[in-house]
Chains A and B, each alone.
Chain A
Amino acid sequence: MSPTRTNEEWLADLRASGEVQEAAISDLRDLLLRATLYFFSRNLGDFGGMNRDEILQRAEDGAQEALIAVLNHLSDFRGDSKFTTWAYKFAINIALMTARRERWKDVSLDELSFSDDGAFFEWMMHDKSPGLAPDQSAMQGEVRAIIEEVIERDLTDKQRHILIMMVFNEVPMDEVVRRLGMNRNAIYKMLHDARRKLKGGLQARGFEVDETLALFSAEG
């Protein structure tokens, strides 16, 4: 168990020299390894093709990478949380990327982008709710038609591509980032713009939030 330090003590010890700094770095590394192992132990399904030693080695590598990231970003720490909470997020971020990469590594970009000429719309259209009154069913169909129209007409090719990967095929953000050579912010912005267009399209045709959600919530 690592000794308890205040935030100020963590910063002072990590910025010190000699044995004090070495001890702090060693304790920090243990914390980051624990966070990484904690994440891995709850996402073992992502490591189906790896044996135990390989997974443990990935955890060691991840903790080391997180340690370097934390030390490089010490000046960003503003003291608005416990230092350990702040540090953990670097380890969790790296662990998540490692796990998702492992899970999706054998899937081709074509498979990730699979849309099969309208399968996306089939997904929505097949999703008919049972037992609805005919007028409600017709309104559901109208909502879906508007969504289809906005996706086909108003989204850019890239927005449509990313939407199909992430919403339809449920590909994780970091895998899309890696395959398309973009960063999370850029991908998020693409999806954000797509959502804005879809929201605008629905509202322009008179479908406001409560009414539309109720239309799709009235089912079991």
Chain B
Amino acid sequence: MERNRFKNWLRNIYETQDEEISCTECFHLVSHFVELETSGENAAAKMPHLKQHLDQCRACRDEYEMLLALTRFENEGGAPSIDDLRSSIR
């Protein structure tokens, strides 16, 4: 576990760019990124700066992953109802 963490961190160090977008810019752009992804487009190729930020920033990545999951659910018509979600919390 520790070894993987160190390795991942090392990779993050090497993937560092001179210019990287901020968390605020990421927040503005991430819904478009998710839209491209759920439309079957290559979002990472079209928005490399955003992809780079998501690879480096755990907080923004957590939000992105949740947004992607929720959008996919909705697009497939399978989003859980509020009542189902309430019931799942105990």
Contacts and interface: CB of A to CB of B under 8 A. Distances in A.
Contacts of B31: 80-82, 85-86, 88-89
A135 interface: no
A40 B22 CA distance: 26
Interface stretch (A17-25, A106-114, A153-161, A166-174): A166-174
A172 B3 contact: no
Contacts of A129: 3
Contacts of B18: 196
B58 to A, nearest CB: 7
Interface in A69-125: 76, 78, 80-82, 84-86, 88-89, 92-93, 96, 123-124
A58 B25 CA distance: 27
Interface string B7-23: 10111111010101011
B59 to A, nearest CB: 4
B62 interface: yes
Contacts of B27: 89, 93
Given A52-B90, A92-B70, A185-B22, A82 B35 contact: yes
Interface in B38-64: 56-59, 62-63
Interface residues of A, number: 56
Contacts of B80: 34, 38
A89 B14 contact: no
A81 B32 contact: yes
Contacts of A137: none
Contacts of B56: 188, 191-192, 195
Nearest to B68: A85
A162 interface: no
**Contact-residue size bin, chain B (C-beta under 8 Å from the other chain):** 35 or more
Nearest to A44: B89
B14 A212 contact: yes
B20 to A, nearest CB: 5
B52 to A, nearest CB: 11
A189 interface: yes
Contact of B58 (A1, A38, A172, A216): A172
Contacts of B66: 38-39, 42, 92, 96
A138 B67 CA distance: 44
A198 interface: yes
Q: Which 5 pairs show the lowest CB-CB distances between chains A and B? A: A173-B59, A81-B35, A37-B85, A184-B23, A81-B31
Contacts of B23: 173, 184-185, 188
A96 B85 contact: no
Nearest to A196: B16
Nearest to B1: A127
